[in-house]
Amino acid sequence: MSEDLLYAKDGAIATLTLNRPDRMNAITAAMLDALSEALVDADRDPAVRVIVLTGAGRGFCAGLDLKDVASGQNIGSDAGALPARFDLRNAPPIVLHQVDKPTVCALNGAAAGYGMDLALGCDIRIASERAKFAAAFAKRGVLPESGGTWLLPRLLGWARACEVAFTGRTLSAAECLELGLVNRVVPEELFAKEVRALAEEIAANAPLAVQATKRMMRLGLEESFESNVHQVYLQLLPLFRTRDFQEGVRAFLERRPPRFEGR
């Protein structure tokens, strides 16, 4: 694990923190590998029920480190060297999309370029009042390469996604909320508390059911209604046999909070 990415577990919540505050958490190649590894570890850990992704310091992520790119030390630094084949199976956007655990982006500050795509790839986004999105790809001569071209039209609809992507303008936290790019905007002094409260609320539910729900919604983006209904039914049958289902029914009948085990 890279020292530029911190991994901490507190109860059922795993927090991944991009940790280059002096460079606004700009992404390096080593951080990409570490982030993918941490996401896989958290997804496989039965004790983890929610994954929180955030940044250290004032910003969430300024995107790929352009200073390293310009100096030939990072991704995209040699435009003349094209790989014989692309293998992105372990790239963070792919891994982030495939994990079954719920992911919450604690958007503590600015997210630009790659950082914006990472934030959009999370299931839920809680933004600090000082947070902002900078879709500056077209201003740098590239495109939203890490999921943005797939995510933006689904989140915003075609016309609004085009406006955001084609203009490359910076959106304030309030504008992101109005567009539906973030779930809520929280005052700075309440930010950490709100993120934690949401993560704990999700973690208190039956984890196998939450993960199955996420899988089915993800598949539903590409399926017909009838196909998704059939897939959901096949997911439901094994859930009926879990201890958590039995506990959920008992808790309802006994009028008490359930105590789920993930089994």
Q: Encode pLDDT of 120-156 as tens digits.
A: 999 999 999 999 999 888 888 888 878 889 999 999 9
pLDDT of residue 89: 75
Check: CB of residue 8 under 8 Å from CB of residue 47: no
Chain centre to alpha carbon of residue 42: 13
Query: Could you read off the pLDDT of 19-67 as tens digits, one per residue?
Result: 999 999 999 989 999 999 999 999 999 999 999 999 999 999 998 876 6
pLDDT band at 1 (very low <50, low <70, confident <90, very high): low
Whether the pLDDT of residue 227 is over 90: the answer is yes
Q: Residue 207: its pLDDT value, please? A: 96
pLDDT value at residue 68: 61
- Band (84; pLDDT cuts 50, 70, 90): low
Grade residue 93 by pLDDT with cuts at 50, 70 and 90: confident
CATH superfamily label, 207-254: Lyase 2-enoyl-coa Hydratase, Chain  A, domain 2 (1.10.12.10)
Average pLDDT over residues 213-230: 93
In the chain, which residues fall in CATH 1.10.12.10? 207-254
Question: Who's near 87: CB < 8 A, 6+ residues apart?
Answer: none
Q: How confident is the model at residue 85 (pLDDT cuts 50, 70, 90)?
A: low
Mean of the per-residue pLDDT values of the chain: 90
The model's pTM? 0.90
Encoded tokens for 149: 């071209």
Q: Where in the chain is the domain with CATH 3.90.226.10?
A: 5-203
Q: Is 129 left (phi over 0), alpha (psi -120 to 50) or beta?
A: alpha
Superfamily of domain 5-203: 2-enoyl-CoA Hydratase; Chain A, domain 1 (3.90.226.10)
Mean pLDDT for the stretch of residues 228-256 = 94
